[in-house]
Amino acid sequence: MKKFVSIALCAVLAAGGAVSANAAVKQNKDYQILSSKITTKNNTISIYTYNMKNTGSGGGFVLDGQKSGKRYKYIFKNYLSAPKTITMPSNEKYNIWSCLSSSMGGTTNLDLRQAGGEYVKVRAKLSDINPNEFKSNGTHTQDGHTYNFTRQTVKDGYYESVLFFQSGGVFTGAVPDSNGYVEFYVSTKVNHSVNYFTEYGFDVGLTSGGGGGTNGIEIYKLTFGNINLDYSVNVNDASLLQQYLSGNAEFDSLQMYHADINRDGKINVQDVTALQTAVAEYYGY
C-alpha cells in the first residue's frame, strides 16, 4: 500500500498545483449538489422531510435492533415542522424497514457507530434515479393505480405510499414536486452508501394489500468518492483523480464534488492521499 501511495503522489506532484472545487464546470445531468450542509454525531439518526404535507399518511420507517430486538418506529408526518435528531444505543446495529399504516417492506442493515459527519443536500429527478419505477412526474403506477407518495382517499378507502432516502444516519422522507424532483441528504464519508426505499399499499372496500416497493436500493453515483461514477469506490477512482490533477481528464460537477475528499474546497494531492487511504481501509489492503 505504501508503494502504491508513493507512486501516485509522485505522479500528481509532478503536475503541481491545486484545483478549486468552485471552478466552473459542466453540470451533471442527473444530480445537483446543493449548498445546504448538516453535521451529525455517531450513533444518532436525523429525520428530515421534503415537500411533505400533513395528509394523514402513515408512511415512515422502522429500525429493529439486531441485538436487543427492540423496535423503533418513525412516521414522517410527525417531523414536518422541524427535523429531528435522536440518539440511539451505541452498541447496536439495526435492520431498516419501510412502513405504511398497516404494512411493512423489506429490510437492509444499518450501523450508526461511524455514521456521524458532514452531509450535503442533493436534488434529483426520480425518473433519473430509476426510470423503471418512477414516471417523469415522480409517480409510480402499480396494479392499475398511480401512487404519488401521499395518502390518497377514495370512496371506499385509501391508497398509500412512502418514499424515503437513507445515507448513514440521515433519513429524508420525500414527496416529488410537480416535475418529479426530490431533495435529500447524503453522507460525505468515502464508501458510505445512499439508498432509497419505497412501499405501496391500499385498503379499499373489502380488499387490502401492499408490497411492490424497493428497499435499500443503492444510488451508486452518490456514494462519496465514486469519481468515475460506476458501481463502487476503489483504486480506479484514485487513478482518475490523479489523471485530473495532471490535466488528462475533465470532471463534471458531481465528479468535482466526489473529488474533494477532505472537504476543504480544493482538489489536490491531499485528496488523492485521503481517497487511497479510505479505499485501503475499506477493502482491508
Task: Work out the pLDDT band at 4, boundaries 50, 70, 90.
Answer: very low
- Cα gap 71→167, rounded to integer Å: 20
Is the separation of the CB atoms in 119 and 40 below 8 Å?
Answer: yes
Q: Does pLDDT of 269 surpass 70? A: yes
Do residues 241 and 135 touch, judged by C-beta distance below 8 A?
no
pLDDT value at position 2?
A: 39
Give the pLDDT confidence of 165-195 residue by residue, as tens digits.
Answer: 999 999 999 999 999 999 999 999 999 999 9
Give the tens place of pLDDT for each residue, 41-82: 999 999 999 999 876 678 999 999 999 999 999 999 999 988
pLDDT value, residue 284: 81
Q: Would you say 120 and 184 are in contact if contact means Cβ atoms under 8 Å apart?
A: no
Q: Which three cell numbers stand for residue 245?
A: 490533477
Half-sphere exposure (Cβ direction) of 22: Cα atoms closer than 13 Å: 3
Q: What is the mean pLDDT of residues 15-37?
A: 77
Percent of the chain with pLDDT over 70: 91
Q: What is the CATH number of domain 2-18+225-283?
A: 1.10.1330
Per the DSSP assignment, residues forming a β-bridge with 61 are 74, 98
Among 185, 186, 189, CA closest to 261: 189
Domain ranges of the chain: 2-18+225-283, 31-219
Which residue, chain included where needed, has cell 423496535?
71
% of the chain beyond a pLDDT of 90: 78
DSSP codes of every residue in 151-183: EEEETTEEEEEEEEEEETTEEEEE---TTSEEE
246: nearest Cα among 21, 24, 19 = 19
| pLDDT of residue 14 exceeding 70 | no
Contact 73, 168 (CB under 8 A): no
125, 181 Cβ separation under 8 angstroms: yes
CB-neighbour burial class of residue 31 (10 A; exposed 0-12, middle 13-18, buried 19+): buried
* Stated pTM of the model: 0.91
**What residue spans of the chain are helical by DSSP H?**
2-15, 126-129, 235-245, 253-259, 269-283
Say if residue 105's pLDDT is above 90.
no
Rounded CA gap, 61 and 43, in Å? 17
d(CA 115, CA 150): 29
